[in-house]
Copies of this chain bind each other. A is one copy, B any other.
């Protein structure tokens, strides 16, 4: 098994942030190319009303296709029980439900208070529990705006810990932390991860969703590695961000993240040369969208060797 799991979120987080609607066939080609490069988990879409995010209206079809790849974890975002039911019907392996630490952000984003979101979490947990063990999806609660909010500003560590505990009580399998606004810094990452892990258990917080809005994405990954995080979300070409947090764009670039980890001797299972070529799919399909990344421009160091 590779040391670190990279969860590619471009087909969901990237595509929901841009105006063009990618045809289902292109989404599937993108997923196929990432799987061929060694990516083992992809968030392929979101089960939200098509009226809200027409870019992701074909998520059920994309899930169906992605499931054809043996060993791939097909992840989706679900805002509520209705979305979760659709995700389960489609056969998604992993459901992520966001709960914004900033209640103001939650009300504006999901139009729900913390209590209302936790009600949905309980309903989703019941749906998940009702599935046969062999096909039961993994259910993650993701605390978004965990490192700060563009509307509320600083978010108290105690609030994030409280919500992580509430998510566990409400029935999630695992909690993730998301730097929706690109506010996180390495000291904060270390501190918050430690605090949440102390509260809910090390094995219940293994993943971070970090942004590169202020250029600290990879620095925050280094901090996450130090405190035991083993799963990192990233987006090919840095596509996307959060349309509900103004100015907060910029996922971590998958290519740069894989380069850093492999250079550090941490295996990802991903072939960098093949991953870099996946950009061609996006460049052809989204000619107007900027693709980010330093390694794609600079190339790999002379004599570079990936982790064993």
Contact = CB atoms under 8 A, between A and B. Distances in A.
A250 B216 CA distance: 16
A54 B47 CA distance: 61
Given A181-B301, A256-B215, A302-B150, A186 B294 contact: no
Nearest to A147: B301
A213 B294 contact: yes
Contacts of A223: 222
A247 to B, nearest CB: 6
Residue with the greatest number of chain B CB neighbours at <10 A, chosen from A213, A218, A221, A253? A218
A294 B222 contact: no
Interface string A220-238: 0111001000000000000
Contact of A215 (B183, B222, B293): B293
A302 B149 contact: yes
Interface residues of A, number: 43
Given A222-B186, A256-B215, A153 B303 contact: yes
Contact of A264 (B152, B185, B265): B185
A292 to B, nearest CB: 9
Nearest to A152: B302
A295 interface: yes
Nearest to A182: B298
A149 to B, nearest CB: 7
A299 B148 CA distance: 14
Interface string A165-186: 0000000000000000111011
A279 to B, nearest CB: 15
A69 interface: no
Given A214-B259, A295-B214, A154 B303 contact: yes
A224 to B, nearest CB: 11
B256 A298 contact: no
Interface in A158-210: 181-183, 185-188
A187 B301 contact: no
A302 B153 contact: yes
A50 interface: no
Contacts of A259: 214, 216
A250 B299 CA distance: 14
Contacts of A183: 301
Contacts of A263: 185, 187-188, 216
Contacts of A215: 218, 253, 256, 260, 293-295
B219 A153 contact: no
Given A215-B218, A215-B256, 18 more contacts: A148-B302, A148-B303, A153-B302, A185-B260, A186-B222, A186-B264, A188-B263, A214-B256, A214-B259, A214-B295, A215-B253, A215-B294, A215-B295, A216-B259, A216-B263, A219-B219, A219-B222, A250-B294
13 contacts: A151-B302, A153-B303, A154-B303, A181-B301, A187-B265, A214-B294, A215-B256, A215-B293, A216-B260, A218-B219, A222-B223, A226-B226, A250-B298
